Structure 1
């Protein structure tokens, strides 16, 4: 994996909306804590607004998915800043939170690996297309046959299922269940932390569910959640969720596995080119073939660039989760010897 993000915290497993009734203006919080919390929530609200298809103009696309994953990484970075601002020692966190955190962070690593595996599979298909385009540079009929074979193999490959991606649905279900897990103890700093962590969990589940839908072609696992408007980001998230989920559900099916527009463009160009070269009548000199080859070339380049950029962001998120686990366990070993042994046993298990 690339692009390590040092000293950043990953997705934390705290309780489901534990402060539904806690207003951002709650008298229980000092002005300093309110400022820290409000800054975090307003920033999160702005990120949700920037992801709304009404603003970006498209969903689903690799560029939107890259933006969504980048936004998620930024939110996890903000959590680290919030923890630093709160000055809440790890030893003040309860052991049950640590158990759940380690369990959920493993699931996030698993889902990152599944995303990376699917991107690699799509890149393998891209190589088949590049082979076909290379063969089409020749005017020989033999090369045309090879090109046709490469296009057929690409169609079979892209329609197949990735075994490593099959368990993403169950991982998502498990993460959704984590929204209803142990609640925070009664402290002002704890309340701010829990509120912020709820926002992180919601964004993480939303982004991961969209990725699963995009890669699998199935809308069954799209995230649904009603968020209280006591959160400064609640309305922005509700608008985003409605807009994205409806856009995905209303997209016409291409008959392929994935449903993002860069792959759909490649598929459309392959379907247009294949009959021309399969007939044996076309040559590269013919305008229709030249035009179709050119269109396929552009769409493959666009797909390649999008996959490379998305892979970088997924790798970055993997590093955030992994670095967070290491940082947490190091902190425990250094400052909480008793808890450290319990966590060591947890990790080994």
Structure 2
């Protein structure tokens, strides 16, 4: 995907001028906002066997907001905090790489879906199944859909997620910058891990976070719920619904070909309609996820730029 620059939105309660409140107070407001956002992602739908693309898009959007808020909070890095922020730069690169991997897989699924679109077009114009040539071409197109793996994200993406796991917080008093970086890493690990698990299959083991953090309880609730959803095959419900619709559609077309008449015209129209709706839902979820991943990519770049700016400013002050 070609990422297009978008203007970042500042966190509403952070003024454009340097805040007068102590850094710890600003960090607490950042943490309180994160707590509220994590709570908004719960509860997960009991009717959904796994995590939907639409839900993942909301979670990824939360990550983008968290990164943007962190950039605001860390925009004025003191000399004593530069090492703390420097430690994040490597995981920041891993997050960018994970975004690229997720984006590439979403694009691949969207391209794969085009085979279904073409098949549905042929069936809709097949004179209720009487045009045998279009029926054959439609089935060939469905075969192309089935031949392509439904999930094929690069295995290296799993390693990228592991590298996002937050380092343990030191004991004693923790600086506002360190608390912020820890929150960014923890949320990045949970959200990116969920995306990679759904796109590539597999579960998600999320480490516990210190209970004294304001957002810890909501984070653990969400992490537990996400892990349970991924305990099975983890296939997104939009993909499952599409696969089920295609299977039924193929059965109807096979019957029409076997009978050689138009007795199944009503069944064909119904099956085409169900498959079109499932495909539209799949497209909607994938488009939303793609847009959210794009947003995270730009927010991550902004946070990285903020961190590097602190070093540039620091070096100028030393002259």
Partner of 1:20: none
Question: Where does the alignment leave 5 or more consecutive residues of structure 1 unmatched?
Answer: 10-30, 340-349
Paired residues, number: 300
1:179 aligns with 2:181: no
1:118 aligns with 2:118: no
The Cα of 1:320 is off from its aligned counterpart by: 1.5
The Cα of 1:159 is off from its aligned counterpart by: 3.8
Query: CA separation in 1, counterparts of 2:151 and 2:187?
Result: 30
User: Which residue, out of 276, 298, 301, partners 2:280?
Assistant: 301
Partner of 1:197: 181
TM-score normalised by structure 2 residue count: 0.83
Query: CA separation in 1, counterparts of 2:152 and 2:262?
Result: 34
Query: CA separation in 2, counterparts of 1:327 and 1:42?
Result: 22
Question: Where does the alignment leave 5 or more consecutive residues of structure 2 unmatched?
Answer: 12-20
Partner of 1:323: 302
User: Which residue, out of 227, 230, 234, partners 1:245?
Assistant: 227
1:225 aligns with 2:204: no
Matches within 5 A, 1:309-348: 309-336=288-315
Query: CA separation in 1, counterparts of 2:101 and 2:210?
Result: 32
The Cα of 1:53 is off from its aligned counterpart by: 2.9
Cα 1:216–1:82, aligned 2, differ >3 Å: closer, same or farther?
A: same
User: Which residue, out of 199, 207, 214, partners 2:198?
Assistant: 214
Contact 1:2/1:312 (<8 A) preserved: no
User: Which residue, out of 244, 249, 255, partners 1:268?
Assistant: 244
Partner of 2:159: 170
Matches within 5 A, 1:18-97: 32-54=22-44, 58=48, 59-84=50-75, 87-89=76-78, 91-95=79-83, 97=85
- TM-align CA RMSD: 3.0
Partner of 1:291: 270
TM-score normalised by structure 1 residue count: 0.77
The Cα of 1:5 is off from its aligned counterpart by: 4.4
